[in-house]
A and B are shown apart, each in its own frame.
Chain A
Amino acid sequence: MSQDFRLDNIGMVNRNKKISFTFNGKKYFGYEGDTIASALIANGVHLVGRSFKYHRPRGFFGVGVDEPYAILQLERNNERDPNIRATEQEIFEGLEVKSVNCWPSVNFDIGAINNFLKMFFPAGFYYKTFMWPPSFWYKIYEPFIRMAAGFGEASIKHDKERYEHKYEYCDLLITGSGPSGLASAYAAAKNGARVILAEDKPRYGGSLLTSDVNIGNQTGAEWSEKIITELKSMSNVIVKNRSQVFGYYDHNMLVMSERISDHLPKTQKYLPKQRLWYIRAKEVLISSGSIERPLVFGNNDTPGVMLSSAAKEYMKVYGVLVGKKPLIFTNNDSGYETAVEFKKNGINPLILDTRKEPSSDIITEAKNLGIEIKYSYVVVAAKGYKKVKSADIAKISDNKKDLSNIENIECDCICVSGFWTPSIHLASQSGNKSEFNEKIDAFIPKKSKQKENTIGSANGKFTLEETINEAFNKGYEVSNKITENNNKVSIPTVVEKKSTEHDKFWCVPLPKGKSYKRFLDFQNDVAVTDIELALREGFRSIEHVKRYTTLGMATDQGKTSNLNGLQLVSDIENKVVPQVGHTTFRPPYTPVSIGAIVGREVGKHSKPTRKSPMHEWHEKNNAVFVDAGVWLRPRYYKQGNETLFEASKREAKNVRKNVGVCDVTTLGKIDVKGPDAAEFLNRVYTNAWLKLPVGKARYGVMLREDGIVMDDGTTTRISENHYHMTTTTAQAANVLSHLEYYLQLVWPELNVNVVSTTEQWAGAAIAGPNSRALLMKLFPNTDVSNEALPFMGYKEADLFGIPAKIYRISFSGELAYEVNVESDYGNFMWEKIIEVGKEFQIQAYGTEALSTLRIEMGHVAGSELDGRTIPHDASLEGLVSKKKDFIGKRSLSRSAFTKPDREKIVGVVPLDKTTSIPEGSYIVKDPKAKLPNPKLGHVSASCWSVEYDNPFSLAIIKDGKNMIGQKLFAMSPLKNKTIPVEIVSSHYVDPEGKRVRA
């Protein structure tokens, strides 16, 4: 197998290692170190994709992150990776890639008909087309747009790859390892600074790898190799390749994505595929270099038209010729460097220079080498469909407006150079307002906003000598600020060819009678005519023009198109570019995979899972779990083929009849301690707390300042200055923050401390008529009689040698106790309860039965205390003290809260006593009323009452207490149900509360 376009004696790829891969099903080979782009070009393949809108054939335009065309879909280790840039992805054995945005194939693409229908796809076509008739939208337009839009196909499989996040801190982060990056890193590292040097490409050195320069008597490549080797050996330096710093955020936080395994056939053991670095840097030096600007002419998107710097890099780094009959079209000296490189490799290029009589070292060298140069010449249009076959060229008048006779010359590639655009993205993201530099026709960073400096060609310095001097000095200066060391390294001498001024000309006029498409944005198919149309239609702001035409909005973010677009707008508007301004640069600089952003926080790792100490017992006993906040709680314990409904009914019934035990470890617990604890609770809760005796518990409700119920729970006075507060599982963290807020900021004079003890205690609620009998067996040495341990009483006791706390509190409405032991004894406690409870027919019950029990008792929970209710709405007005002040009290006298017909809690029973009412149903007077049917309220919670063996629900309805006895309707449009119901008291079972006091 020979590669027609591979050069033998040049390049940095490893010729000893051949690598085979497939592109669109066909097998090719390249060498280790090749990108997909370089390997395909070596094989003479230039047609790799179709354009976004017109489906025109597309090849390669660049050689790195700026590539707008060559976006492919990759299969690696049975995983699909859409939208990878062929110019960045290195090849590995077995790599499979294919073209996107074309059907049935890249060679014959039906979508290319759009190219001939282009009058239907002007700028903003999606705002104008697809509008009528409206009925066409779902069936015709949307499927069509979905099929036509986008590039690769995302995998719908779970991504098995591992991605990691890493936090790092450094004195100095340097983004880019070109001459300025290397020099500044070296100077700073030698001065003792902790440096991170990030390089996007696999190879370090940037432009030094391809320019014909000499630093300290070494070639650019040799010098960069020497510096990078030394940097790598220093303990205060982290050097990373394949790492793109893509975002500059507040307070010098930068984010970098490191592609660790993308270039390998398979991710290695113990390594992630990609790693996202969050870097907090004391100082940042942006050395991101510059990107060559295209020149604009007819059909300038034809495969074979590419940046001249890319053509040079393909030769020097990869040993690959982009063509054998190259045409160089340039407005500056850079094109000459590419031409000289072609010539040195035995290829005869032709240079078209838009300038009239330029002269410089490199031009002289080109002449001396015998390269043919045509001055004041332009390419009018590229010819050829799937590959450049020839070019129409012409001499252009001095005022750059008129073209003379058009000649056609044969060529197989057109290398364009329209001068250089500094990559100011990161500087701009940091908040640096850029300024337009007339000398280079581009924006450069202005005054630093954060601790950042831009150096080298990213700062508009286009000679190596300037760059190296600036970078050494900046590296020293910045590191000196941080380390206060004074180790200055000497700056090497630089030899380079001097270049002369570039030509401001960039867009070739159309010849008479021709309507060639002249593209500005190659990825989004935005042509000169689109911008002209947008301006004709009245769009003026560059931000509007951008969004209307989609200029610069593709995944390449306009790296090659932005400035030409701005230039065109300012030309048409007769303004200068700085008046037009530029659009906002936003992170990410290059696309970042979602996997890297998510990192390890996938699946079970997306949030912590908390398990109670009794979790294993629940698992062994067939518990079906439910997420409760961050906790996993047993929902029910399945016996045989039981359904949720059957199991929860059985469990709840057993509580009412015998005794049940429920894991209540997840309840929030807060220790409140200090001489002012009683006073503090008195201000936090709506009811009175000053007189609660030691050894007693009390139920309390706390409000937000706006009067809405925040949480409820019982708090027990353990000793004089020590209270044990419980909160709901869901609000535990918020309540703690709430208490801390008042103690630290509002009433700092109160001598109180609060601390969460949720995880310190394991809790078991023992509920049912047999619970006291069980307790007597569990605590034989403790008097648990009704007199010694009355309702809302508290006792410390000994559970088979383990210290335990018994709270006589009840959520189920039955005679009930909550036993707490230190978490490590939780399982012991639970197993003892089950073991001893056997003779009392004990059964464990889950949250579903717990719900049933509390609903039929009319006890409120999260579904009633839903962030909209005040105590009165939930029939808790008895707990609201009239005598003392407390958080939120003043709000309760707001007129909206005192309205007599406010929604209040009631019970709801279906008339047929069999149909369950869906939660969320509306309560209405007349189910046939005109829509929208006036709603009286909603059903907040439903259960099957085990006491009466019929459905029962809680609802919050207008003027609730006066509705009791009325016959209304529960409507659930969602479930398509209308159920005749009767409104009853919310206290459906044991309304006098006899059982809990029994």
Chain B
Amino acid sequence: MLYIFCPHCGLRSQNEFAYGGDATVKRPELNKEISDQEWNNFVYLRKSPRGKHLELWHHISGCRQWIKVERDTSTHEIFKTYKADELTE
């Protein structure tokens, strides 16, 4: 079971969190003209890298904050965690 550092609460076990997928996806701006292809990429396509990956976790049984976790998907090593408003670019 992973041990995840919540930037708001500290080290907590994985069972307090829900996984939220790729954190690098950026939602297209509202009211913007956008091609089918671009929209498809946003809704359906996700990278599933082996190695370092920035992903979202939701501390649902804790502070209810969404956080970003930089994790190695093959070794589970967690390098760093960030608050939702960090790493926005």
A residues apposed to B, CB below 8 Å: 167, 249-253, 278, 280, 431, 449, 683, 705-706, 733, 737, 740-741, 744-746, 748, 884-885, 890-891, 894
Q: Mark B18-31, 1 if CB is under 8 A from A, else 0.
A: 10100000011011
Bound Cα distance A884, B39 (Å): 17
Q: CB-CB < 8 A to A705: which residues of B?
A: 27, 42-43
Query: B27 contacts which of A252, A449, A746, A891 (Cβ < 8 Å)?
Result: A746
**Cβ contacts B46-86/A at 8 Å (1 or 0 each):** 00000000001010100011100000000110100000110
Nearest Cβ in chain B — how far from A821, in angstroms? 26
Chain A residue contacts of B42, Cβ below 8 A: 705
Q: Is the CB of A891 within 8 A of B43?
A: yes
Query: Is B89 engaged at the interface, CB distance under 8 Å to the other chain?
Result: no
Residues of B within 8 A of A (CB): 1-3, 13, 18, 20, 27-28, 30-31, 34, 36, 39, 42-44, 56, 58, 60, 64-66, 75-76, 78, 84-85
**Quick one: given A741-B20, A741-B66, A745-B84, are A431 and B56 in contact (CB under 8 Å)?**
no
| Alpha-carbon distance between A449 and B75 when the two chains are bound, in angstroms | 9
Q: Is the CB of B34 within 8 A of A890?
A: yes
List 3 tightest A-B contacts by C-beta distance, closest first: A251-B3, A744-B84, A885-B30
Q: Tally the A-B contacts, defined by beta carbons under 8 Å.
A: 56
Q: With a CB–CB cut-off of 8 A, which chain A residues contact B85?
A: 744, 748
Q: Contact between B18 and A683 (Cβ–Cβ < 8 Å)?
A: no
Chain A: minimal CB distance from B14 (Å): 8
Contacts of A890 in B (CB 8 A): 28, 34, 39
Q: What are the residues of chain A within 8 A of B36 when measuring CB–CB?
A: 894
Is B1 touching A253 in the complex (CB atoms < 8 A)? yes
What residue in chain B is nearest A893 (Cβ atoms)? Answer: B36
Are the C-beta atoms of B84 and A253 separated by less than 8 Å? no
Cα–Cα distance between A182 and B78 once the two chains are bound (Å): 33
Please give the distance in Å from B83's CB to the nearest CB on chain A. 9
- Nearest-neighbour CB distance to chain B for A296, whole angstroms, equals 38
Taking a contact as CB atoms under 8 Å apart, the answer to whether A431 and B34 are in contact is no
Q: What is the minimal beta-carbon distance from A326 to any residue of chain B, in angstroms?
A: 48
> Please, which residues of chain A bring their CB within 8 A of the CB of B1?
249-251, 253, 278
Q: List 28 A-B contacts (CB under 8 A).
A: A167-B13, A249-B1, A250-B1, A250-B2, A251-B2, A251-B76, A252-B3, A253-B1, A253-B13, A278-B1, A431-B75, A683-B30, A705-B27, A706-B44, A737-B18, A737-B58, A737-B60, A741-B66, A744-B65, A744-B84, A745-B66, A748-B84, A884-B31, A885-B30, A885-B31, A890-B28, A890-B34, A891-B39
Given contacts A705-B27, A737-B58, 20 further A-B contacts (CB under 8 A): A250-B76, A251-B76, A252-B3, A253-B1, A253-B13, A278-B1, A683-B30, A733-B60, A737-B18, A741-B20, A741-B66, A744-B66, A744-B85, A745-B56, A745-B66, A746-B27, A748-B85, A885-B30, A890-B39, A894-B36
A280-B75 contact in complex given A706-B43, A737-B58, A745-B84, C-beta closer than 8 Å: no
Whether A280 contacts B58 by the Cβ 8 Å rule is: no
Return B8 CB to nearest CB of chain A, in Å.
Answer: 11
Chain B residues near A249 (CB-CB < 8 A): 1
* B-chain residues with CB within 8 Å of residue A250 when the two chains form the complex: 1-3, 76
Residues in B whose Cβ lies below 8 Å from that of A894:
36
Q: Does B43 contact A740, Cβ atoms closer than 8 Å? A: no
Bound complex: CA of A449 vs CA of B77, how far in Å?
10
B60 → chain A, closest Cβ, in Å? 7
| Whole-angstrom CA separation of A748 from B27 in the bound complex | 13
Which of chain A's residues has its CB closest to B64's CB?
A740
Q: Which residues of the partner chain A approach B31 to less than 8 Å between Cβ atoms? A: 884-885
Closest to B32 in A: A885
Our pick among A706, A740, A885, A891 for the contact of B66 (Cβ within 8 Å) is A740
Min Cβ gap B70→A in Å is: 15
CA distance A744 to B68 in the complex (A): 11
Q: How far is the CA of A740 from the CA of B44 in the complex (A)?
A: 21
CA distance A623 to B56 in the complex (A): 43
| A450 and B75 alpha carbons, distance in the complex (Å) | 10
Measured in the bound complex, the distance between the Cα atoms of B85 and A740 in whole Å is 13
The answer to whether A740 and B58 touch across the interface, beta carbons within 8 angstroms, is yes
Partner of A741, one of B30, B43, B58: B58
State in angstroms the CA–CA spacing of A591 and B13 once bound together.
25
How long is the Cα–Cα vector from A890 to B35 in the complex, in angstroms? Answer: 9
Residues of A within 8 A of B34 (CB): 890
In the assembled complex, the CB of A108 is this many whole angstroms from the nearest CB of chain B, namely 50
Q: How many angstroms between the C-alpha atoms of A479 and B73 in the bound complex?
A: 30
- Chain A residues with CB under 8 Å of B78's CB are 251
